[in-house]
Structure formats: C-alpha cells, structure tokens
Amino acid sequence: MSNKNYIVDNLIVGTILKSISKSSIKLKNKIEKNSSSSYFFVPSSLIDHKSVMTQIDTYGILNKNKLLFREPIIREQISYVKFENEINYQNELHGLNIISNQNKTFYFYSIENFFHKYESSVFTNLSSNNVNIIFPNKTTIHFYSSKKNILKKYIKKLTNIVVDEKFFTEVNFPSEIELRENNTLINTYELTNKSFLGLSYQLVQLLNLLCSNPNLNIKVSENQNHYLNTLFFSFYKFFPSFLSNFIFKFLLRFNGSDIFSKQILEVNNIFTSENYIFSNSIDDDQSISNFKIGEFLPKIFIKSKNKSLKDLLIDGVNVISSSNSNIKTKDNLISLKTETHKNLDGHLISPSSFELLNLNDCFYVVSKDGLVLLVDLYKNFKASMKASQLKSKYSDKKQKYMDAFEVKNFTPSIPRPSFNFRWPLSLKKQ
C-alpha cells in the first residue's frame, strides 16, 4: 500500500482506507457523526485477520417472509468487518483528497440476543429496494435497506419486533468519488452497485486499487449478471414458491455455483482501464480460464511457506505460469507447481488451486493487487506480451471520439410511433 496522506469527507471511505492501508487518514471536517463502530463487506484477502470480522459462508434469497433458497458461497471469500477505531478530524492537510460527489443512504438496525440458526449468512430480496440481512453470530441480526419502511417491514416479518424508525442509523456510501491533489482533479470514479453489500464490496476494491496507484485510470462495470437471471429476478415474486425455488436451482447450475453467488450478492464487477465494458460476457463457455480480464485472482496459498500468492506480487508486471511452461521474461515471473512436478523450480500449491487457475493451458499477467490484466494461452505468450505493451494510436478522429463518448447521462427510450394520415383517401393508380 502507498503511505500517502488521505483527506476524506465521508466517514465510511475513511473507515475502509484505515482498515486496508497503512496511510494517514483524516476527516476533512465534522460533517458526520464519528461513531464508535462501522461495518462493511470486504474481500477476505484484503483484511488483517486481527480485525473483528465474520466470514460469510452462505447466502439466501427472500420472498416476503419466506426463505426460498439458501446455498454456500463458493470460491469468493467475503468478510463482514467491524471497525472500532475513530478517525481524527483535521483541516488544511496536504495530501490526496477523496471527495464524495454523490451519496447513497442506507438505514441500519441491529438486533442483539435473538437466537437463530443462520450464523455467518447473508440474505437478500433481489429487489430495487434491496434489503441485506446479515447474521454475524448466533444471537445477532443486522438489517440494511435504502428505504425505512422496507427495513421496518422485514424486521417485523423476521423477528416479530416493531421498531421505531428514529432508532435507525444512517450509513452514507459514495456513489461517485473524485480524487484530487492540490485542488487538481486526477480522476472521477463512478460506483454502480445498488445494495449495501454490493456497494460496500465495490468501494473497498476500488479504494484498494487507488491506494497502490492514485493515478490509475480505472472504470468499474455494473454487476455482471446473465440476462436470464435479470429477467427472472424481476418477476420471481409473482411465481409460486415451489416454482421459484426450482428455477433458482436451474439458474444455479446454468451459471455455475461460484458465478451465481457473485451475481446474487452483487460482487461480480470488472475493473478495467478500457473505454468499453460489455454488459454480458461473450463466449464464456469457450473461455480458457475461470478468471477474465478485470477480475481479481482468489487467495492462493503457497505450501511450505506462510504466504499467499498475493505476497509474491510486486509493483509493475507480474507473470504467473506453470513451472513446466518454459516462459522467459524480464518481468516478475511466478512459477507455480504441484507435487507431480516437485522437481521443477517454482512455488508449490495445491492441485485444486492449480486446476482452478488452469495453469496447464494458460498464463496470467496481473497487477500488484491481483487484478488480471491479461490471460492467454502459452503459445501466444510472446505476441500477447508485445501487444499488451503497445499504446493505442488512432488515425481515425471519428473513431477516437466514439471511444471517448460518455453515456452516463444518456437515458434510453422507446421510439415514439408516428402515423401519417391523408384525407381524403385516394386510390393508388396502377
């Protein structure tokens, strides 16, 4: 992490930065109540195990007061973290300013000493008025929603407790942030997720990338969801429960359990410096890897060492490959192997991790944060590396303007029908 000074105007941004970096974090002014504790979701690989956290291992889908569907979270390790330290206020600091241009407000309520059987689970209702219900331990339930009346309704349905809205706590998350240094704009970043879990997780990943490289020009995609999922999620409440459960199980197998859980929880985002982001992945079945450009590699443990793969990554270009690939490069080459190739040079990992990365067929180029910058077959190594280092040079000005076109203020609409009547009617002459 970069050890810069960060000045923030949003408490949750400062809380996250304080948790994932070693930088000096200051609140610009007393615009928010500096509460004694804050909660947020984070990839488990980014957080110190000394932090107070809950490893989320299952997710569920709610329909009104019924739990329709509950499954384990595969591969993606998500932690629900409690931050208990205060952040100091100080004006006129020199450093990087993170300014929250737009905020999304969530309402939070905690119920203690209420016994249940859903420890380490998170439930969602997949609605535009999204509700996240977290069970950190056997006796605690946390409720989040952007609507007070929705939050109040779900508390009543699940616990039979009627709560006064004045006891709800406001949590303000930025939906757009600016990065400035000496009042000079470096970049603007838009956050696209809607739920507390999704927006929290997305903000953590973005801030982690900016800590390593504040000048990074990065764009964040919307939650990468299959169009069949989106269609069903919009109408499942109108289906009988037994039919909805059946379709959810079909979509689970259709998408794959690991991808489906990320789509449900709204953490299936892509981070890229390209000007375009596809709304749906193309030819996923033909993909050579489980991880695409713009995604983060999972936590891979190195055997015989108290390290993970991320500990081997450095600033600049990191190439990850199999020990028997015979790749030669001046960049930081990380060769991985299993027990079957223990005589070769490289770091030893489990067979399941080796298979997950599909290292028999492909190599990766990743950043220090584990962000996939390139994935390709070994036979294409020289051509891919050469092409990835070339800067684009446009000769067509029209194409350049099209690629730089910003569409965030564009609202799509259906063309209005137009009818042309002529009176009096006249017969068409042959």
Mean pLDDT of the chain: 82
Residue 251, φ and ψ in degrees, nearest 5: -65, -35
Chain centroid, CA 141 distance in Å: 23
Question: 263-312 pLDDT, tens per residue?
Answer: 899 998 888 876 655 545 444 444 677 888 889 988 888 987 778 898 89
**Which tokens belong to 105?**
């407000």
pLDDT of residue 37: 60
Residue 400: is its pLDDT beyond 70? no
pLDDT of residue 203: 94
Q: Are 327 and 337 in contact (CB under 8 A)?
A: no
Per-residue exposure over 254-276, b if at least 16 CB sit within 10 Å of its own CB, e if not = ebeeebbbbbbbbbbbbbbeeee
Residue 309, φ and ψ in degrees, nearest 5: -60, -35
Question: 315-353 pLDDT, tens per residue?
Answer: 888 999 999 888 888 889 999 999 888 788 899 999 999
Residue 427: is its pLDDT beyond 70? no
Residue 394's pLDDT band (cuts 50, 70, 90): very low
Give the Cα-Cα-Cα angle 93, 13, 29 (nearest 5 degrees).
40
Query: Alpha helices, DSSP H only, in 275-394?
Result: 351-357, 381-388
Residue 401, φ and ψ in degrees, nearest 5: -65, -35
Question: 124-177 pLDDT, tens per residue?
Answer: 988 777 899 999 999 999 999 999 999 999 999 889 999 988 899 999 999 999
pLDDT of residue 258: 84
* Alpha-carbon gap, residue 399 to 114, rounded angstroms: 60
* Alpha-carbon gap, residue 340 to 107, rounded angstroms: 53
Parallel/antiparallel/unpaired status of strands 332-337 and 318-322 = parallel
Average pLDDT for 88-116: 85
User: pTM value?
Assistant: 0.81
| Positions of E strands within 223-349 | 271-272, 301-302, 307-308, 318-322, 332-337, 347-348
Percent of the chain residues topping a pLDDT of 90: 29
